[in-house]
Amino acid sequence: MKKLPKILLTGAALTVATVVVARATARPAIQKIATSVKSKKHFSSSILLWVRPDKPRETTMDRWKGPHAKIIAATKGFEEYRQLHFSAQNTGLWPATPGVETAIPAGRRVDGVAEVTLASLVSPLQGKDQTKLAFADEVNLFQRTILYAGLPGWSRWYEVAPAGTAVGTRSLVFLRRREDVSAAQFRRFIDEELAPALANTGTLKELRTQNFMTWKKSQWDTPNVAHDNALADQFHASVLLGFADEAAEKAFFSQPLLESLSQRLALFCTAAHAYQLTEAPTFVEHGQNLTAR
């Protein structure tokens, strides 16, 4: 077997080295942040909801937190069930960031989220009968529903304030991962960098994160309701932020710290849609159905 000329070997070595460097460059390094704020892992999912346009929005939102909530709250196996009601005029709270879509597209503006935390892996099996009733009622309220599920431990609740601390206002941020960032790397960014940085601000009264699995229509394919969710529209995580009042929230979204966070966010995300909440009623807490009282 003939030996290859040194120049070819050298060229091949340089090519391999270039590829290795390029790959390393394409994957932004996680800047792991230490925090003394404790967190607990949970098994949570989020169902994004769009109300029917042919019915008054306020009427639909009232029915959602009324009769529909009672159907869902009766489901066995829930640790917690609460609704996140969004303002009707959300345009995006996150400040403009180069390379990141922060303005919420009107055509995909979400009206609310059903936030469900399960007690265990067998919980989905326990609630099958009640889920059928929820499926049947969805069409009365919503034109589109999209489920983002997570694995056990992919949801984290941070103890940024003592239990029972009043939360005056909340916002929810949906994050879309860059194509050149792996799913595992993205989860590490949320858990090891972004969430600890937010926890360390000292201004939050509530902080929860959820990492989502790859979206699949089959996970929540209710009848007579749309589930269209193009790849360009899909999200991969959410961050819930709670504040003492509106003034604290406004100060948070305008503070210099958010500027540095946004620069880091741009390395991992292509979208950060921050929604203003109007209320977040809870119907199941610590496994107890509050609507049955």
The string of pLDDT tens digits covering residues 62-101 is 999 999 999 999 999 999 999 999 999 999 999 999 999 9
Structure tokens at 76: 């066995």
SS percent in the chain: helix, strand, coil, step 5: 35, 30, 35
Residue 36: per-residue pLDDT: 98
Residue 5: per-residue pLDDT: 54
Residue 151: per-residue pLDDT: 96
CA distances (Å), origin 220, targets 81, 117, 263, 269: 17, 16, 35, 25
C-alpha 83/C-alpha 81 separation (Å) is 7
Residue 27: per-residue pLDDT: 75
Residue 133: per-residue pLDDT: 84
Which stretches of 32-127 are DSSP H helices?
Answer: 57-63, 69-73, 123-126
Q: In the chain, which ranges are E strands? A: 39-51, 78-86, 112-118, 142-149, 155-158, 169-177, 206-211, 237-243, 269-279, 282-285, 288-289
The class level of CATH for 33-292 reads alpha beta
C-alpha 46/C-alpha 285 separation (Å) is 16
Residue 19: per-residue pLDDT: 39
Contact criterion met (CB below 8 Å) for 172 and 240: yes
In single-letter form, the type of residue at position 165 comes to T
Residue 6: per-residue pLDDT: 53
The pTM of the full predicted model, rounded to 2 decimals, is 0.89
Structure tokens at 183: 């799913």
Digitized pLDDT (tens) for each residue of the chain, 293 residues in all? 455 455 444 554 444 444 334 444 457 999 999 999 999 999 999 999 999 999 999 999 999 999 999 999 999 999 999 999 999 999 999 999 999 999 999 999 999 999 999 998 877 666 667 778 888 899 999 999 999 999 999 999 999 999 999 999 999 999 999 999 999 999 999 999 999 999 999 999 999 999 999 999 999 999 999 999 999 999 999 999 999 999 999 999 998 889 999 999 999 999 999 999 999 999 999 999 999 87
Residue 168: per-residue pLDDT: 98
Which residues fall within 8 angstroms of residue 272, CB to CB, at 6 or more apart?
Answer: 94, 97, 100, 101, 102, 173, 174, 175, 176, 262, 265
Which stretches of the chain are DSSP H helices?
Answer: 6-26, 57-63, 69-73, 123-126, 128-138, 183-188, 195-199, 246-254, 256-268
Neighbours of 48 (CB within 10 A): 22
C-alpha 116/C-alpha 79 separation (Å) is 8
Residue 17: per-residue pLDDT: 44
